[in-house]
Amino acid sequence: MHRIPTALIAALTLVVGFAVAQATDVRALGGAVLVAGGAWCAVRAWPSAGAARTTAVLAVAAACFAVSHVLAPHLGAWPAVVLVAAVLAAVTWVLVDRGTSGRAAGA
């Protein structure tokens, strides 16, 4: 069984969180998606990446969320979210997934 990359879940958390908030007009539901996705990523990353790298990814995720709001008036909401999700995926891959991709399944 292949491990789902944490980077994919981190990026999807931003995209799905925004989609839920936009579709429902309830920002708190989008926030709940962000919290759930962040928690999943943290629990998944902690054993292999350690506290410092996991904390760094969560900090980058929070920064990406904030930056998406700054970029949205200039790029549009969806392009801003996709851009920051790509940045978060790249950072998460480097800090968490890259070092664990060669480990045995289920590790």
Q: What six digits make up the tokens of 43?
A: 């629990």
Domain assignment of residue 107, yes or no: no
Residue 106 has a pLDDT of 43
Q: What is the mean predicted confidence (pLDDT) over 79-90?
A: 98
Domain assignment of residue 39, yes or no: yes
Domain assignment of residue 106, yes or no: no
pLDDT in tens, 33-72: 999 999 999 999 998 899 999 999 999 999 999 999 999 9
Domain assignment of residue 27, yes or no: yes
pLDDT over 90 for what percent of the chain? 83
String of DSSP letters for the chain: -PPPPHHHHHHHHHHHHHHHHHHHS-HHHHHHHHHHHHHHHHHHHHHHHHHHHHHHHHHHHHHHHHHHHHHHHHH-HHHHHHHHHHHHHHHHIIIIITTTTTSPTT-
Domain assignment of residue 91, yes or no: yes
The amino acid sitting at 17 is: G
Domain assignment of residue 71, yes or no: yes
In this predicted structure, the answer to whether residue 21 has a pLDDT above a threshold of 50 is yes
The mean pLDDT value of the chain amounts to 91
Q: What six digits make up the tokens of 63?
A: 């920064």
Domain assignment of residue 102, yes or no: no
